[in-house]
């Protein structure tokens, strides 16, 4: 009986509530010591579970709107539907797993943690990433990894145009076709260690690796300005 009550008490029905009310109730449950929270009827509302700094698991039983899990530090989020724009923006650590698709700018500027999208994502995925891992099981739109500074993006399907444009550091792995490389992006062969890393990390999320991956890194020609390479700069800017 006690167990049953506990299951009921960590469930939160979001229908009819504002994003602020939902987030406040999630925080109240965390303060009360809950470690696993399930939110029903999220109805794609924005800013859900932003800024959670506790090691807690939150499951959304439906789609979420913009900026879900933004700035979290340590939480484990799971979305049983799709996510809108800016998924997990600027997160520090923790995991966000989306069963459906995610919109533009997923994992933008993340500093750490892992974002896994089992469907496809829109444009500008992992833009300006500063660490962490972004795994996309299917395809991504244009400019994934634009200006990324650190971290790893794994795209199991096809990548859109301008992939890894003007990136500083970090690595992008692509299992499918690359429509077009961005400025100063260079394709390399992953080494054995990287192959192992991919198998282990994808396997951990139940994603099978069928094709050999290509690795895309910075060509570093945009790191320093060189008058000799004016053409390259004109193209990039």
Residue 146 binds other proteins (CB under 8 A): no
Shortest distance, position 64 Cβ to other proteins, whole Å: 9
CB of 66 to other proteins, least distance (A): 8
Least distance (Å) between residue 81 CB and other proteins: 7
116 and 99 Cβ atoms separated by less than 8 Å:
no
Give 207's contacts (C-beta < 8 A, 6+ positions apart).
Answer: 118, 135, 137, 156
Candidate segments 37-45, 128-136, 193-201, 218-226, binder of other proteins by CB under 8 A:
37-45
Residue number with CB closer to other proteins (86 or 170): 86
Choice from 141, 151, 170, 175 touching other proteins (CB under 8 A): 141
What are the structure tokens assigned to 113, written together?
């943690």
Comparing CA positions, the residue from 92, 90, 157, 161 lying closest to residue 119 is 157
C-beta separation of 90 from 68 below 8 A: no
Cβ closer to other proteins: 66 or 171?
Answer: 66
**Residue 120 corresponds to which tokens in the numbers above?**
């496809």
Nearer to other proteins, 100 or 112 (CB): 100
Beta bridge partners of 187: 216
Query: Interface mask (CB under 8 A) for other proteins, residues 41-80, using x and -?
Result: x-xxxx---------------xx-xx--------------
Q: How far apart are CA 76 and CA 101, in angstroms?
A: 18
Contact 40, 20 (CB under 8 A): no
3-state percent helix, strand, coil for the chain, nearest multiple of 5 = 20, 25, 55
Of 24-32, 40-48, 177-185, 193-201, the window that binds other proteins (rule: CB under 8 A) is: 40-48
DSSP labels for 52-79? --S--EEEEES-B-TTTTTT-EEEEEEE
CB nearer to other proteins: pick between 164 and 198: 164
Q: Shortest approach of other proteins to residue 12 CB, angstroms?
A: 16
Tell me whether residue 49 or residue 198 sits nearer to other proteins (CB atom): 49
DSSP class of residue 213 equals P
Stretch binding other proteins (CB under 8 A), from 51-59, 98-106, 164-172, 213-221? 98-106
Scanning residues 151 to 170, which ones bind other proteins (CB under 8 A)?
Answer: 160
């Amino acid at each position: 009986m006690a167990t049953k009550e506990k299951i009921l008490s960590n469930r939160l029905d979001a229908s009819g509530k504002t994003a602020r009310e939902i987030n406040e109730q999630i925080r109240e449950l965390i303060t009360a010591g809950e470690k696993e929270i399930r939110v029903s009827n999220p109805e794609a509302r924005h800013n859900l579970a932003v800024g959670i700094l506790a090691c807690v698991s939150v499951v959304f039983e439906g789609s979420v709107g913009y900026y879900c899990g933004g700035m979290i530090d340590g939480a484990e989020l799971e979305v049983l539907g799709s996510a809108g724009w800016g998924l997990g923006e600027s997160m520090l650590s923790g995991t966000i797993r989306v069963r459906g698709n995610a919109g533009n700018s997923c994992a933008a500027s993340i500093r750490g943690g892992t974002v896994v999208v089992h469907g496809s994502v829109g444009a500008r995925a992992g833009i300006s990433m500063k660490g962490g891992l972004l795994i996309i099981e299917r395809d991504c739109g244009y400019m994934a990894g634009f200006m990324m500074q650190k971290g790893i993006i794994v795209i199991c399907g096809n990548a859109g145009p301008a992939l890894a444009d003007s990136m500083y550091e970090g690595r992008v792995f692509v299992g499918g076709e690359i429509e077009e490389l961005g400025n100063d992006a260079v394709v390399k062969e992953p080494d054995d260690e990287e192959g192992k890393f991919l198998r282990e990390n994808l396997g951990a999320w139940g994603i099978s690796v069928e094709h050999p991956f290509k690795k895309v890194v910075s060509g570093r020609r945009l790191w320093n300005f060189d008058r000799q390479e004016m053409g390259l700069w004109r193209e990039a800017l």
